[in-house]
Amino acid sequence: MISGLTLTTLVPATAAHASSSELPGEPSAPSDHAMGSQIKKHEHGSVVTNRVQSLTTDAEPEGIDVSSHDGNVDWPARASSGMSFAWVKATEGTSYKNPFFTSQYNGSQSAGLIRGAYHFALPSNSSGQAQATYFSDHGGGWSGDGYTLPGVVDLEYNPYGENACYGMSQTAMASWIRDFVSTYQERWGRAPMIYTSTSWWNMCVGSAASDITAVAPLWIARYSSTVGELPSGWDAWTAWQYSDTGYDHDRMAGTREGLEKFATNETATPRH
């Protein structure tokens, strides 16, 4: 069962991306999908090609998310450019591990960034419990050390086949996510974040997961100058992936102090 988690409202390195003939983040190996790769494919009309300026407030921390497609990242350069945090892909399904995970995860922390790990979910392949356990066993854990962000489950369009929702009903999808969130929360003492887009969530989950949205902070994907409508069940966002130029660029709601408190699970700082 998902326990309650109070959300207090406070309001150039060269990347080793896929070739130009491929959509960035598409796999060079089986199960090697980058965060947002399928959202870009299905919601390409909203993708921006230039870095958006003055998105919300200058005080909000900037960060990036990376995967194997980004290879060896120059983390000191990222820190010097103003990045405060990073999320690193750890796993996908129950068989894929990012071969660059250790260097990316440790390198970001060594450069002074607060970092976390994410899991690319394949809900039709195995249970939420199995994938949360695999993620937890291969880098997806959390601790209150002050420089580790909660793990993230990346929920987006099915990269295999035509059915965007993995052939699952909204009720079945909500049950899968509930399994993942509960398993992760029971192991680490806090719920994971959920990364998704409004279009995917409303189509594949809808209103079937109000208990999940009450405890899992939202990381919204929308490549634009505004966040726009939020997915069903959330009235605030905690992180926002707003650009895919170079590295994927993200913002956290709140301030650097709020980011540090979020890392230690003192508070979350969602923005309405």
Q: What is the pLDDT of residues 206-234, one digit of tens each?
A: 999 999 999 999 999 998 888 999 999 99
The secondary element (H helix, E strand) that includes residue 86 is strand 83-92
Average pLDDT of the residues of the chain: 84
Q: What is the spatial distance between Cα 20 and Cα 8, in angstroms, rounded to a whole number?
A: 43
Nearest to 262, CA basis, from 237, 228, 232, 235: 237
pTM of the model: 0.82
Is the alpha carbon torsion for 46, 22, 120, 118 positive or negative? Answer: negative
Q: What is the spatial distance between Cα 142 and Cα 158, in angstroms, rounded to a whole number?
A: 27
pLDDT at 52 exceeding the cut of 60? no
Nearest to 79, CA basis, from 10, 151, 147, 154: 147
3-state secondary structure of 254: coil
Q: What is the spatial distance between Cα 114 and Cα 260, in angstroms, rounded to a whole number?
A: 8
Domains of the chain plus CATH, in order, are 37-263 (3.20.20.80)
Q: Any idea which residues carry the catalytic annotation? A: 65, 154, 156
pLDDT at 23 exceeding the cut of 50? no
